[in-house]
Structure 1
């Protein structure tokens, strides 16, 4: 993989920090170097948040300006980050917010994520697969993250969405 600047965005409360941390840890543990930045519009549910990950096979010291891959969990993310997109960047969005086409890949996040409750894990599954992360390894990352929270049912639902 070449160096990429990934932005995962959506509303506060959609689990962006969880998916950002899962992806960040997965990339580091597979040997990549990362720089992470976050922006919060509001900590109250509904404000727009973004989790940026710059990933590279070589050491990186600072975030990049242009977004190569925008993973948005709401329609607002497309509008807010359009100007930050690299000329050859890709948008991964829910099928409800955009149709697949030039540089847009629409994903049925809501369908994969059981009606929206697990959108963040659906996004983790898609971006992880596109980056070539091993599915079994991603499952282990989910077990590690959600096993600590002590709710086996939630962990199993997350694993089901990941598959």
Structure 2
């Protein structure tokens, strides 16, 4: 396992050791001892989620607030997505900054998203299977998010807007400024 830094404080990329031969490939999607040794973090993941999406499906930018905030370890099982995170921690040196990365089923990179980040992705391939571990349980009362087209963040989702498929719930998310107030 190799750790790669991102421009955002506490957010990093994990490159697993992938073993390939004529049969295909094998890699560990998660190993607690290797994760702790490589990252220096002790994270107790308690929930594992998976979504299946078609091209253009945009999910996010979601987060949970207060005691129910979640750190996530995200990866793509099938297909390709553009994954975006935004640091919304008021006391962070990278507050308000975003980072994006293409995650796919070829390189098998994973992204560690710390607590205090808004997170979302859009499917770039015909279909994607997206998997993520959380260190806290989902809590509807603590759920919030930032609208995908927030003017302050000016995020590039890599697809034309007319290809987006967005849930009604995600179309009603707050602006970055509203989240701060």
- Fold shared per TM-score above 0.5: no
User: Which TM-score tier does this pair reach, normalised by the shorter chain?
Assistant: under 0.3
Relative to total residues, which structure has the larger helix share, 1 or 2? Answer: 1
Structure scoring higher RCO (CA < 8 A, sep ≥ 6) equals 2
Greater CA radius of gyration, 1 or 2?
2
What is the TM-score when the length of structure 2 is the normalising length? Answer: 0.25
What is the TM-score when the length of structure 1 is the normalising length? Answer: 0.27
